[in-house]
A and B are shown apart, each in its own frame.
Chain A
Amino acid sequence: MALLQIAEPGQSAAPHQHRLAVGIDLGTTNSLVATVRSGISEVLPDKDGRALLPSVVRYTNSENIEVGWEAKALAASDPRNTIVSVKRFMGRGLADIGDLENLPYEFIEAPGMVKLKTVAGELSPVEVSAEILKVLRQRAEETLNGELSGVVITVPAYFDDAQRQATKDAARLAGLTVLRLLNEPTAAAIAYGLDNASEGIYCVYDLGGGTFDFSILRLTRGVFEVLATSGDSALGGDDFDFAIYSWLWNTHNISSLSPEDTRTLLTESRLAKERLTDIAVTDIHCTLTDGTQIQAILGRDTFFEITKPLLTKTFSPVRRALRDADLQITDVQGVVLVGGATRMPHLRTAVAEYFKQEPLINLDPDKVVALGAAIQANALAGNRSDNDLLLLDVIPLSLGIETMGGLSEKIITRNATIPTAMAQDFTTFKDGQTAMSFHIVQGERELIAECRSLARFELHGIPPMVAGAARIRVTFQVDADGLLSVTAREQTSGVEAHIIIKPSYGLTDSEIANMLTAGINNAEHDKRMRALREAQVEARRLLDATETAMSENGHELLSKPEWDAIWNKIYDLAETLMMGDSNSLEGLRKATDELNAATTEFAARRMDATIQRALSGRQIESIQV
């Protein structure tokens, strides 16, 4: 049984076509995926409950590619094949990348973008990023139980066209449809709902693991514009760990450390920093490989003092950005904190003092960008009706297509906001069917005869297949001007046909109102008619299938009395169907059930015969289940 989520008014999706949309924060250090469920934006954790996915990809000799925590754990032992912080190389040439000598990778100059040489061959940063996106995509699809219809991926506000294009390419490689790339500071502002707040200037102070970004945004009529960005690409939370680490060196007279001890001590420093967010004093103790004990007590005061220069360093880009945008501190209406490092209490105090107002902190600073991206993705996928970013129009009457039995299948339901696009898969009814006729209708009634006919077109060249095997995707698209275009495409062969219509042409408001009330007043009648038509279609399908089966191998598999009994039931059902009385629903269902029952044994024998044919002459080992 599927589990449903609550949609915004008028935005329910048809089964199997939920517009699942997620927001992805593709970060330098960590990446996250989030979605909006029943109106609430939330980050999707992995099976172990971890929300963050380290942006680390490790390539091995085999086909196997490790992404995330496992890859991160092995980064130190296999640095050349473990790609860390790949975001820094996206859309960059060799000349754009600084400190090449400090990076453990073997770079290859390639047109447009560098490549990295690993055991798995030469890889572009786009391919590496795609591996991270694939893991997030899989996590989202497993959690939400379906294919994603679109994603919003965040990028730093300063990313240029090449870097943005590289991010889009990575998404396409991971099989994702990008609805939009969103600037990270804008995503953070959206997560706090600032797009619904009063117009004005907002600042985003983002201190990540290894980078500091500061952005100034201006909100006008629900749209954010980036006024200025600045930052320090070599300043982040890691530097605060390093400050504690250096302090330990000085207080314990350490002269040299093995790489392993360095890592141990840095990890202990990071944990101490994190503990100091909640408590005033913390213990640090660890044992080095040579048995030396490191013991220390670190208080907030000391921590604040040794990291004060780092904090001060963040305010020079802040000043620069304000100057670039020609703004005063008093112009700033709100400050958003992003990045795990902004949990540090003295940082929050410093920011509050600098801007003379309390920063926004009630969302998890690690998740806030992904949460905002998810909100935007949800709106862009068309799951939100009160979309205040765009002035929207709605469709007055449902648009649908005629299906077997003269029933209307609604593809776009009334009150859907335009522009919109919806797709549904249909299949063939008869074996070897090579063409399909489409009848597009408008209205709320169940029967085609009672809806308004808009247009007809045909799709030819469907490859001959058994009934039900072809997959014909019918897409209804209504543009901002209310123009409907319908496309039918057979998925395996790619044959396509389409038509363009203006559905509201020639309908007055009172006619629309009449069509709506008729739908309500005839609910019971329409229900019965739909049931009857469905029963008729089912009966016809069963007759076709049984007759085909009988002529195929009825003679070999059935005795004379069995053969006769089935034919009797076929005649019974055909007769009931031909009578066409609208009251014969029960009779039709009964005759259908009887034919079904009469052919159960025959169907089982046919199955056995098929399996026997498939298995004869093969050894048990060669059969893979």
Chain B
Amino acid sequence: MAVTLTPTAATRVQKFLAGRGKGLGLRVGVKTSGCSGMAYTLEFVDEASPEDQIFESNGVKILVDPTSLVYLDGTELDYAKEGLNEGFKFSNPNAKANCGCGESFSV
């Protein structure tokens, strides 16, 4: 069971955490909504919850709550640039279908 970051993504997270001045790591989760069932969430973490699963990838701590982990196991995050925009991209082996915009998925 794990959620990982590519080296590029890990460098960006470290930069953002440094810019923010505090934070334990990155929280990755899912939320039930969106056009295709589930949606990803990405947040900074200030306090871990007792039930959190903690992974370490390329020097960054990734926290996932157990309800989300069942949908996220094996997911890798990358950081990409598209046109003027840039941000994190998910590749999730559990996702059967993505909606057109890629913000939500179903299992």
Residues of chain A touching chain B, judged by Cβ–Cβ distance below 8 Å, are: 1-12, 14-16, 37-40, 44, 47, 142-145, 386, 407-411, 413, 424, 444, 446, 519-520, 523-524, 526-527, 530-531, 534
Contacts and interface: CB of A to CB of B under 8 A. Distances in A.
Contacts of B19: 39-40
A1 B89 contact: yes
B27 A15 contact: no
Given A14-B34, A410-B32, A424-B33, A6 B16 contact: yes
B55 to A, nearest CB: 16
A11 B67 CA distance: 18
A12 B41 contact: yes
B59 interface: no
Interface of B: 12-13, 16, 19-20, 26-27, 29, 31-35, 37, 39-47, 51, 65-67, 69-71, 80, 82-90, 98-99, 101-104, 106-107
Contacts, number: 118
A143 B33 CA distance: 24
Contact of B51 (A44, A520, A530): A520
A3 B89 contact: yes
Given A12-B29, A16-B34, A524-B70, A6 B86 contact: no
B41 to A, nearest CB: 3
Contacts of A5: 42, 87-88
A1 B102 contact: yes
A413 B31 contact: yes
B34 A520 contact: no
Given A14-B34, A410-B32, A3 B42 contact: no
A9 B45 contact: yes
B12 to A, nearest CB: 8
Nearest to A139: B84
A530 B16 contact: no
A409 B32 contact: yes
A10 B31 CA distance: 12
Contacts of A386: 46
Contact of A410 (B33, B37, B45, B85): B33
Given A7-B43, A12-B42, A37-B87, 12 more contacts: A2-B102, A3-B89, A4-B103, A7-B41, A14-B39, A38-B12, A39-B16, A413-B31, A527-B70, A527-B71, A530-B37, A531-B107
